[in-house]
Amino acid sequence: MSPTIKDVAKKAGVSIATVSLAIHNNQRITTITRNKVLRAIKELNYHPSRSAKGLVTKTTGNIGFVLTDDHFLKTEPFYTMIFLGTEFVTRGNDYYVLLATINKDFKEGDELPRFILERSVDGVIVAGKVPDAFIQKLSKFDMPLVFVDYFPPVDDHCVVMVDNTRGGYQAAKHLVDLGHKEIAFIGADITHPSISDRLTGYKQALETSGIEIKQSNIIIDEDYPARQNGYNAAKRLFEKNKNVTAVFACNDAMAIGAMQYCADNGIKIPGDVSLIGFDDVEADLLLNPPLTTVRVPKVELGTEAMNVMVNLLSSKSANCAKKIVVPVELIVRGSTRKI
Amino acid sequence: MSPTIKDVAKKAGVSIATVSLAIHNNQRITTITRNKVLRAIKELNYHPSRSAKGLVTKTTGNIGFVLTDDHFLKTEPFYTMIFLGTEFVTRGNDYYVLLATINKDFKEGDELPRFILERSVDGVIVAGKVPDAFIQKLSKFDMPLVFVDYFPPVDDHCVVMVDNTRGGYQAAKHLVDLGHKEIAFIGADITHPSISDRLTGYKQALETSGIEIKQSNIIIDEDYPARQNGYNAAKRLFEKNKNVTAVFACNDAMAIGAMQYCADNGIKIPGDVSLIGFDDVEADLLLNPPLTTVRVPKVELGTEAMNVMVNLLSSKSANCAKKIVVPVELIVRGSTRKI
DNA sequence: TGGCTTCAGTTAAACGTTTAACCTAAATAT
DNA sequence: ATATTTAGGTTAAACGTTTAACTGAAGCCA
């Protein structure tokens, strides 16, 4: 068995309270006693038990990270990167991250992740879009909450967001600057605020550039923005609309699908059509041509979210309802060109 | 505050011991009392506190997952997939996974991950190659240990391995079957057992096919098997060795680098040279041509490792020193062809 | 009838910490 | 000289469980 505080107390010839106080640098303990204690700790290689500490302080040193199972399973490691971002921060602070998924159709009667019920976490980071019913139920626990890459309907929470509107603007503006006039938008799941914000940015860019916004140039799939849907959206677009010279896909997955459609149908990129995506996933660089895109700093989203959480927990301040918007960056590669 | 076992006891009109026993389906409690207790639990929405339970049972419900920081940071999400595999299993069993990294130059004096010292985990899964000093230090704690994708020097541990030798054999055999005779191997970090096993398989395949093994066809970089090193290895290979018609790269990252070198130097794949990798990473499908490779079931490695761990913890049996070898699979795509 | 089992629970100790309340001796104030 | 404060600890309760040991009633057997 590993040594307990009792062993340290005996070895140092003091009470266990003194050991505890010494560990926490309490003023009441003289330097000389503290050193005695510290020496005993070193000799025994003592480390306090987290369980015992947790029981009395009602803290666990863990943060929950929740996302829906379909986000968890998708091939693009978008949320994985955010998760890793949170891990980076915990390295510095004294926390660990517990991961849990919920059903994307979470209903009122469903159980919350076990770590919430058993109080194994001090706070919860929610990543990506989650059902309303889940947020409702989660909010009943008075537990610090941080949302990342999703803007919950009720608005008194801490949120870390991507500047999707500005990114959409930058993407479309880039195409405008290259001389394009017939610029299409392909997207999916427009109820997702991130996606609709990108569309908003697209519209703003065309508007401020004096280019008419045509509904026929906007293709929205109802489903999830995945490669297959990008393929289908491109098909729907090009079958009815021959004069499009540039396409802004709502994310890289759809852009990759669209690129595949073009390859299958003799549409040259960027020769015939310029294509720009959103997210900047690993795959972009391997495409032929490499995909121009708007970079979302995925790891940074995670670090920011965890930073907010750690602040929330340490300051014990009221729910600050803080909002952080992390900037995006246009990455020009080979899939766009001057017309 | 959430309800405690005391609240349940009061509501059900029994002692707290009865509540505990009822929860654990102890025979001593009649169905009628158990139901009373269960009803109270439901009404109060009671869930036992993990900290309190942990304190007395000396369990935490957590499993540690350790890898070196360079593995954690590399772009190919190889170990991330293994990690996710462990997560999948914990969904079914009652565990969570805590992630920690160690320095790849871990020395004897370095501290172990905090979750081990503070006893926040019931067992540790070690992924990938880790320093000997780390294993030494870790072994001193009598904590269940499972190694995945690495074979520790001292051999009394549970291990989940990839069948690298067989995979290397299959890869080289595939090239032989396509009629190739001058088959090169490019690799790096040959001290890693996985890599050297793949080389062994390569040699076996040539041998059993009656093809001479030439040292000049084997290029080993000392560094890490990454894209850049694949590029360099291909350069070294083709500059001195014009008649090679097929290359087996020790992993996909190096294969991708080699492919880049070939593209830069007018070597057509698979026209002039057939190329095969190892791992089957996401990027392979996006390459032009898509890469023939040997699939390593990454997620399955994680699930297997976690299954072994869960068995170890539940059976409380002696360290079974179990070995599991998960099979690989040849995936033929566009980068190899008949000569 | 009386002694022995079995049944169905209860009591209380234990797990390893933190921390409020208490204590004693020395220092300071009146 | 006595009363009060301060310094530097110690004592003991509390956190929420589990579980070994105990108890009292009922059933059984001779």
Smallest CA–CA distance from B78 into chain A, residue: A77
Is B4's Cβ below 8 Å from some Cβ in A?
A: no
Collapse the DSSP code of B17 into the 3-class scheme (helix H, G, I; strand E, B; otherwise coil) and give the result: helix
State residue B317's pLDDT score: 58
Distance B36 CA to D23 C1' (A): 22
Smallest CA–CA distance from A76 into chain B, residue: B282
**Has residue A263 got a pLDDT over 60?**
yes
- Spell out a b/e string for B318-328, using b for 16 or more CB atoms within 10 Å of the CB, else e: eeeeeeeebeb
State residue A142's pLDDT score: 86
Rounded (5°) CA angle B293-B295-B298: 140
Question: Do the beta carbons of residue A283 and residue A303 sit within 8 Å?
Answer: no
CA end-to-end span of chain A, whole Å?
73
State residue B1's pLDDT score: 78
**Has residue A321 got a pLDDT over 80?**
no
State residue B319's pLDDT score: 59
State residue B286's pLDDT score: 86
Q: Which nucleotide is nearest to A28 (CA to C1')?
A: D8
Mean pLDDT estimate for chain A: 94
pLDDT digit string, tens, across residues A79-138 = 989 999 999 999 888 899 999 999 999 999 999 999 999 999 999 999 999 999 999 999
CA A38 to the chain's CA centroid: 41
State residue B224's pLDDT score: 87
Laid out side by side, the sheet with A323-326 consists of A96-102, A62-68, A123-127, A145-148, A158-162, A323-326
**Has residue A316 got a pLDDT over 70?**
no
Averaged pLDDT, A149-153? 90
The residues of A between 53 and 112 with beta carbon within 7 Å of nucleic strand D are 55-56, 58
Task: State residue A64 phi and psi, 5-degree precision.
Answer: -85, 145
pLDDT bin (cut points 50, 70, 90) of residue A288 is: confident
pLDDT digit string, tens, across residues A57-83 = 999 999 999 999 988 887 678 898 999
Give the Cα separation of B157 and B319 in Å (integer).
Answer: 7
Smallest CA–CA distance from B63 into chain A, residue: A98
User: Where are any strands of DSSP class E within A173-321?
Assistant: 183-188, 218-221, 246-249, 274-276, 293-295
Give the Cα separation of B286 and B169 in Å (integer).
Answer: 25
Is A87's Cβ below 8 Å from some Cβ in B?
A: yes
Instruction: Name the more confident of A142 and A53.
Output: A53
Taking the CA of residue B219 and the nearest CA in chain A, the distance in Å comes to: 25
State residue A193's pLDDT score: 92
**Which domains, and CATH codes, for chain A?**
5-48 (1.10.260.40), 62-162+299-326 (3.40.50.2300), 164-296 (3.40.50.2300)
Nucleotides of D under 7 A from a protein CB: 7-12, 14-20
**Has residue A259 got a pLDDT over 80?**
yes
**Has residue A317 got a pLDDT over 70?**
no
Segment among A165-169, A251-255, A280-284 with least mean pLDDT:
A280-284
Q: Which amino acid would we find at residue B225?
A: P
Which of B83, B286, B287 to probe by mutation at the A interface, max A CB count within 10 Å? B286
State residue B234's pLDDT score: 97
The whole-number mean pLDDT for each consecutive block of 10 residues of chain B, a chain of 339 residues, reads 94 97 95 97 97 97 95 82 93 92 95 96 96 95 94 89 98 98 97 95 98 96 92 96 96 96 96 97 90 97 96 75 93 96
Question: Do the beta carbons of residue B179 and residue B338 sit within 8 Å?
Answer: yes
Residues with Cβ within 8 Å of residue A79, at least 6 apart in sequence: A67, A71, A72, A127, A128, A149
